[in-house]
């Protein structure tokens, strides 16, 4: 069953664990991993990799986070051909940005040397002063997770060890909020996602005075902790609500996860114990945001896995699972993909509905 559900792709150029990955058109941008500074582009159509760059030699990656910044001002064709990535956190904190243009195109060769494209450079403020995202030297950012949100996609929501949540304003380069997550679990290497797609994640509500109020919603899962998090941008305040956690993964973290519409899929995981007490999962779980319900699948990963990363390729509705550690704690170079509809039957219904409507329109045209 596993071999039918998961398709093995070309191996990674190097074994990777704790990697971070971003989607850009037909590319998966793989941004380093534990003690691995090399970054690669994987072409989803060609099934090939190309080297992009390395993190600077002074950067030691151990539980870092990478997010894609949103530029609401620039909408030209040139701007759509590039993305800006922000890399930060880890046991030894760093904060870097990379303006990326496809290494598969001729454009990147022309502008790379001129404008610091396709290389990690310091994250700087408006006075060109370097900025390190981190509360202070004592806060541990290993296994940190973050999402972009806010009314103008200018807020970086950060969740990190042991139970911290912060809001960093990317326009003013300052933290504007710190709070404590209502949990006894240590929060790191966890699942942290927007409640819906970022474009739909803004919830407009009316106050008693008829004024519009901006809310941004997120979900967090780690071990036995499940939280729905609502951020009130106008009042700079959080609200937390407890969510159920499937008993099969209630003592686990370090899983790969991906949020697709109103579901979150979890692949593998580890119980953070060593020796005979260590348990590494090969199971796949689904959480439905709309129904507030968990589903455990009989279909599983081909092998036990943790510290891998999962990402959705929206072009062909496949989920890619990259790298990780196996049940012998060996870092692997495995890259595989699986169809979304194998885990979410509603996707198959949508496809069938599209086909029905398509052929129904053809039939109507023939009659006319």
Least confident of 158-162, 181-185, 364-368: 364-368
Give the pLDDT confidence score for residue 362 in this predicted structure: 43
Q: How confident is the model at residue 361 (pLDDT cuts 50, 70, 90)?
A: very low
Least confident of 133-137, 159-163, 359-363: 359-363
Give percent of the chain above pLDDT 70: 83
User: Of the candidates 50, 21, 49, 16, which has an alpha carbon nearest to the alpha carbon of residue 33?
Assistant: 16
Average pLDDT over all residues of the chain: 88
Least confident of 102-106, 221-225, 294-298: 102-106
The partner residues of 260 in beta bridges, in order of sequence, read: 263
What the block records as the tokens of 132 is: 């390190």
Q: What is the C-alpha to C-alpha distance for residues 272 and 261, in angstroms, rounded to an integer?
A: 30
Give the pLDDT confidence score for residue 363 in this predicted structure: 47
* Angle subtended at Cα 208 by Cα 206 and Cα 209, rounded to the nearest 5 degrees: 90
Contact 159, 187 (CB under 8 A): yes
Q: Which residues contact 189 (CB under 8 A, 6 or more apart)?
A: 18, 63, 143, 222, 253, 254, 307
Q: How confident is the model at residue 80 (pLDDT cuts 50, 70, 90)?
A: confident
Q: How confident is the model at residue 214 (pLDDT cuts 50, 70, 90)?
A: confident
Give the pLDDT confidence score for residue 198 in this predicted structure: 39
- In the chain the domains, ranked by start, together with CATH numbers, are 6-366 (2.120.10.80)
Whether the per-residue pLDDT at 292 is higher than 70: the answer is yes
**Sheet of 174-180: strands edge to edge?**
145-149, 155-160, 164-169, 174-180
Q: Which residues contact 365 (CB under 8 A, 6 or more apart)?
A: none
**Sheet of 256-260: strands edge to edge?**
256-260, 263-270, 280-288, 293-296
* pTM summary value: 0.89
What the block records as the tokens of 287 is: 């959480």
Q: What is the C-alpha to C-alpha distance for residues 365 and 368, in angstroms, rounded to an integer?
A: 5
Whether the per-residue pLDDT at 228 is higher than 90: the answer is yes
Least confident of 32-36, 193-197, 319-323: 193-197
Place of tokens 């590319």: 27
pLDDT in tens, 89-141: 999 999 999 999 999 987 655 665 567 899 999 999 999 999 999 877 667 89
Q: What is the C-alpha to C-alpha distance for residues 209 and 345, in angstroms, rounded to an integer?
A: 43
């Amino acid at each position: 069953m596993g071999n039918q559900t998961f398709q093995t792709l070309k191996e990674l150029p190097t074994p990777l664990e704790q990697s971070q990955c971003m989607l850009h058109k037909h590319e998966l941008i793989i941004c380093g991993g534990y003690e691995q500074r090399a970054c690669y582009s994987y072409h989803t159509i060609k099934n090939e990799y190309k080297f992009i760059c390395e993190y600077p030699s002074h950067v030691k990656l151990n539980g870092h986070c990478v997010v894609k910044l949103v530029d609401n001002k620039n909408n030209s064709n040139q701007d759509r051909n590039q993305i800006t990535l922000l890399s930060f956190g880890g046991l030894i904190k760093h904060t870097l940005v990379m303006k990326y243009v496809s290494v598969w195109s001729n454009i990147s060769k022309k502008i790379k040397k001129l404008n610091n494209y396709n290389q990690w450079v310091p994250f700087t403020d408006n006075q060109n002063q370097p900025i390190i995202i981190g509360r202070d030297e004592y806060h541990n950012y290993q296994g940190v997770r973050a999402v972009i949100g806010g009314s103008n996609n200018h807020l970086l929501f950060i969740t990190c060890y042991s139970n911290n949540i912060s809001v960093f304003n990317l326009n003013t380069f300052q933290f504007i909020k710190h709070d404590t997550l209502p949990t006894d679990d240590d929060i790191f290497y966890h699942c942290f996602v927007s409640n819906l797609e970022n474009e739909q994640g803004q919830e407009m509500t009316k106050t008693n005075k008829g004024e519009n109020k901006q809310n941004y919603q997120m979900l967090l899962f780690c071990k036995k902790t499940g939280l729905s998090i609502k951020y009130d941008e106008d009042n700079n305040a959080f609200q937390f609500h407890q969510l159920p956690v499937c008993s099969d993964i209630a003592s686990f973290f370090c899983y790969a996860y991906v949020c697709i519409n109103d579901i979150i899929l979890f692949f593998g995981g580890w119980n953070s114990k060593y020796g005979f007490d260590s348990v590494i999962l090969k199971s796949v779980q689904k959480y439905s945001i709309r129904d507030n319900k968990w589903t455990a699948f009989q279909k599983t990963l081909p092998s036990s896995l943790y510290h891998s990363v999962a990402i959705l390729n929206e072009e062909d509705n496949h989920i890619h699972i990259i790298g990780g550690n196996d049940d012998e704690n060996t870092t692997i170079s495995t890259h595989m993909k699986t169809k979304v509809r194998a885990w979410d039957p509603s996707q198959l219904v949508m496809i069938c509905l599209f086909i029905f409507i398509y052929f129904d329109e053809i039939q109507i045209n023939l009659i006319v």
